[in-house]
Amino acid sequence: MKHYNIRVTGHVQGIGFRYSARSVARYYNIKGFVRNEPDGSVYLEAEGNEADLKEFIEWCKTGPGGGWIDDTIVSEGPVRNFNAFEVRFI
């Protein structure tokens, strides 16, 4: 089990990124959350096995379409044992 913190920058809000991320995370059995940030980025925390996380992170680098990705910053963090993947609001 691994945990990654992911920040995606670019035109990533208002394009369905969070709800698409939730669908993709569920497909790969990823647990965690996604939320829009005040600076216009999207922040995710994702937990799962290494292979599934790799696929999920690759998806984060392209997103759902309708916008564009400038950067995807990934860092490892402590496992938090999420029960599901959810959309969160600030």
Q: Which residues are catalytic?
A: 18, 36
In the DSSP assignment, the letter for residue 28 is T
* 77 Rama class: left (phi>0) / alpha (psi -120 to 50) / beta: beta
Contact 89, 35 (CB under 8 A): yes
